[in-house]
Amino acid sequence: MALSRRAALKGLAAAGMAVAGVRPAQAVTLPVRQTDALGLLYDATLCIGCKTCMVACNEANSLPADTSGSPAKLYHKPIDLSEKAKTVIKLYAQDGEQAFVKAQCLHCVDPACTSACMLGALKKREFGIVTYDPDLCVGCRYCEVACPFNVPKFEWSSAAPKIVKCELCRERLAAGKEPACTEVCPRHAVIFGKRTDLLDEAHRRLHDTPDRYVPKVYGETDAGGTQVLYLSHVPFEKVGFPALGDEPAPSLARSIQHGIYRGFIAPLALYAALGAVIYRNRRADDNPR
């Protein structure tokens, strides 16, 4: 319980300290040291589906209510993440099993959306948070195609649309507060902290009460790891988490793109070769025999 606040303070302090000598996580150079990465831990066994986090999220982000799931427009009731909902508590109830699951940006360690984004409007910045800068966004929506979790949403209703997604309440963090959703959660089903601490906590719970859980922390390694981590008593694929393997989502496309364009040598060589052939052919045409 105390973890959230303690970790928040530690995380914020880490920004100023800039501790050296921490090993890089993977072959890909990531902008954030793993030990600086902040995130959330959501425990489906604790969530009672009260949706206070959804309301708090909209309030903190000045988002209007999304009544698309409420025919009489009485409630903030989005049917999925949307331009008006950066987080949604979904219910899984089938085959006698029931679980709530919190949909939101998972802040991947190596995200597909930032790999897709032409000018880096979506970018991992401080604490590994995947942030959005509308000044660099042309609204191409390639991030929506790329994200394996279907997270980034587009302001379809606007003629000057932006991308909408969880930025881990980075403005609240800067003001020394924790994210709105973790602050209001009455059951501490979602807690905030450094990713390393949250992983320790998740494994402690798995170790202490193994009967409560599927023996896995989703996001520990999935899709190269995410900064928002999940514990659940219902198998993850059932509650809507894709089985993505441990490779970061953008790795295949990136290795092909980089393979072809390494150092821009292949295109330059091709250009030179094409130019040479054209020049030779033209000379032959100009001076027949």
Partner 1 sequence: MTTRAEPIGGPLDTPLTRMLAGLFGLAMLAIAWRLIAGLGATTALNDGYPLGLWIAFDVVTGTALACGGYAIALLVYILNKGRYHPLVRPAMLTSALGYSLAGVGVLLDVGRWWLIWKVPVYFWHWNFNSALLEIALCIMSYVVVLWIELSPALLETFVDSTILPLRRVARRLPPVIERASPFIIALGLLLPTMHQSSLGTLMLLAGSRLHPLWRTPLLPLLFLITCLSMGFAVVVFESAFSSVAFKRRPETQMLARLATAIVPLQLAVVVLRLADLWWRGSLEPLLAGDARSALALVEFALFLAPIAMLWPAAGRRDLGRLVGAAIVMMFAGALYRFDTYLVAFTPGEHWSYFPSMAEMTITVGLVASEVLAYIVIVKRFPILSGRSGSPMAEREKPAAES
> How many angstroms separate the first and last alpha carbons of the chain?
89
Nearer to partner 1, 64 or 134 (CB): 134
Shortest Å distance, C-beta 211 to partner 1: 31
Q: Which is nearer to partner 1, 3 or 244 (CB)?
A: 244
Site residues for partner 1 per CB under 8 A? 79-83, 112, 114-120, 134-142, 144-146, 148, 150, 153-162, 242, 244, 249-250, 252-254, 256-258, 260-261, 267, 270-271, 274-275, 277-279, 281-282, 284-285
Using the minimum distance from each CB to partner 1, give the nearer residue, 22 or 138: 138
Report in angstroms how near the CB of residue 83 gets to partner 1 at its nearest.
8
89: tokens are 């508590």
In single-letter form, the type of residue at position 281 comes to N
What's the min distance (Å) between Cβ of 281 and partner 1? 5
Return the number of the residue (207 or 282) whose C-beta is nearest partner 1: 282
Closer residue to partner 1, CB minimum distance, 15 or 145: 145
Question: Taking the complex as a whole, how short is the minimal distance between the CB of residue 142 and partner 1, in angstroms?
Answer: 5
Closest approach of Cβ 114 to partner 1, in Å? 8
Instruction: Closer to partner 1 by CB, 15 or 91: give it.
Output: 91
Q: Which is nearer to partner 1, 102 or 194 (CB)?
A: 102
**Shortest distance, CB of residue 251 to partner 1, whole angstroms?**
9
94 vs 257, beta carbon nearer partner 1: 257
Burial of 25 (0-12, 13-18, 19+ CB in 10 A): middle
111 SS3 class = coil
Pairwise CA distance, residues 76 & 67, whole Å: 5
Q: Count CB atoms within 10 A of the CB of residue 11.
A: 23
Nearest distance from residue 260's CB to partner 1, in Å? 7
Give the CA distances from residue 62 to residues 68, 123, 131, 176, in Å, rounded to whole numbers and listed in that order.
Answer: 18, 22, 17, 19
Q: Which residue has the tokens 């905030």?
A: 192
Asked whether the beta carbons of 208 and 109 are under 8 A apart, the reply is no
Helices 195-208 and 3-17 meet at what angle, rounded to 10? 150
DSSP-derived secondary structure for 199-218: HHHHHHHHHH-GGGS-S--B
How many angstroms separate the CA atoms of 234 and 96, rounded?
A: 11
Q: Which residues of 26-48 are buried (b: 16+ CB within 10 A; e: fewer)?
A: eeeebebbbbbbbbbbbbbbbbe
Phi and psi based region of residue 88 (left: phi greater than 0; alpha: psi -120 to 50; beta: remaining): beta
Question: How near is the Cβ of 234 to partner 1 at its closest, in Å?
Answer: 18
